[in-house]
Amino acid sequence: MTPSTIELVVTEDDRRIARYAAAAIALTVAEAALPSPLPGVKPGLANIIVLVVLMRYGWRDAAWVSVLRVLAGGLLLGQLFAPGFFLALAGAAGSLAVLAVAVHLPRCWFGAVAISVLAAFAHIGGQLLLARLWLVPHDGVFYLVPVFATAALVFGTVNGLVAARLLAAAALSPGPAPPESA
Amino acid sequence: MKDRLPDDLRALFNAAWRGGEAARAWHQELKAGDWLVLLLGSIAVACSCALLWRGGVADRAIVQRDGKTVVELSLDSARKVPVDGALGVTVIEVQPGRARVLSDPGPRQYCVQQGWLTRAGAVAICAPSHITLQLNGGNGGKAGYDSLNY
């Protein structure tokens, strides 16, 4: 084999992000098999991974994992560039925007659940905004707000609890302490 | 080196799983700010339900003769309003949140027997008198139909 002239340097950061993204993608694919009463009402299990990454390594890593998850999830499910893909992207963008702020909340008062619920509401906010602007240009979509908001509250809480449990375990597990995130 | 990585998820899940029984109850994972966010989130959900799904409440009664509005009554205070119809005087009664045709000179009294109207879009028609009583709701006065004509 001809040796490549381009050498890609894989840093420790890249490996870590790839691992977490792989876990998030696996959860996305597993979740796609679950039946849903209404398109768009999904637990969003991959967000557990995004939360764990956010709280251990900061917003930049979380954004990488989230966007890679949406891209690769779209590829694997055959949804790339379909409306569902753009809705997922809008949701991810909305929640990342809120996470950028929420990550600065004082940790002694606010745990993973608060951040998770805020991100879940931002997620449906981003999705509804895109749906209103592009897919269903009628105010009728807002009649679904209570359904989506309830789902965001419930699944945001559950995902946050799981992430809190994982973070507690990570704090106890041996190994070098994660770098202080902003 | 590999097993020293702090982000080895398998180890993380294992630790979380093993610690499951000995560890704290789920509600102990919540901090004060978490409860606050959950409370605010619940309030937001309740408000969105109340705001968006309350469509059926009426707030105005519209009385028309031959398709032209004779009088518009707001449904917040009780009163009786006489309206001149084709046969004589029709009396409309309004109480907070509802309205009815109290009396009408028509022969069959269908609109009187209809009783109180409470929901937006409800209509009582006194055809012989050429009078209609119609309730409108808060969201732009939209009823379940497009138009009503005598």
Residues of B with CB under 8 A from a CB of A: 4-9, 11-13, 15-16, 19-20, 23-24, 26, 29-34, 36-38, 41-42, 44-45, 48-49, 52-53
Residue B13's pLDDT band (boundaries 50, 70, 90)?
Answer: confident
Residue A45's pLDDT band (boundaries 50, 70, 90)?
Answer: very high
Cα–Cα distance measured from residue A95 to residue A90, given in angstroms and rounded to the nearest whole number: 9
Q: What CATH class has B58-137? A: mainly beta
Q: Do the domain assignments include residue A129?
A: yes
pLDDT given at position B150:
60
pLDDT given at position B144:
59
Chain B contact for A91 (CB, 8 A cutoff): no
Please state the domain extents for chain B: 2-52, 58-137
Domain that holds residue A133: 12-172
Residue A54, domain CATH: 1.10.1760.20
Measured between CA atoms, the residue of chain B closest to residue A164 is B29
Q: Do the domain assignments include residue A3?
A: no
Cα–Cα distance measured from residue B19 to residue B31, given in angstroms and rounded to the nearest whole number: 20
The rounded percent of chain A whose pLDDT value lies above 90 is 66
Is the CA virtual torsion A89, A95, A101, A106 positive or negative? negative
Cα–Cα distance measured from residue A145 to residue B145, given in angstroms and rounded to the nearest whole number: 24
Is the confidence at residue B54, as pLDDT, over 70? Answer: no
Indicate yes or no: CB of A105 within 8 angstroms of CB of B33: yes
Residue scoring higher pLDDT (B17 or B22): B17
Is the confidence at residue A180, as pLDDT, over 60? Answer: no
Indicate yes or no: CB of B12 within 8 angstroms of CB of A170: yes
ipTM exceeding 0.95, yes/no: no
Chain B contact for A140 (CB, 8 A cutoff): no
pLDDT given at position B121:
78
Cα–Cα distance measured from residue B135 to residue B73, given in angstroms and rounded to the nearest whole number: 9
Indicate yes or no: CB of A169 within 8 angstroms of CB of B32: no
Cα–Cα distance measured from residue A95 to residue B145, given in angstroms and rounded to the nearest whole number: 40
Indicate yes or no: CB of B37 within 8 angstroms of CB of A111: no
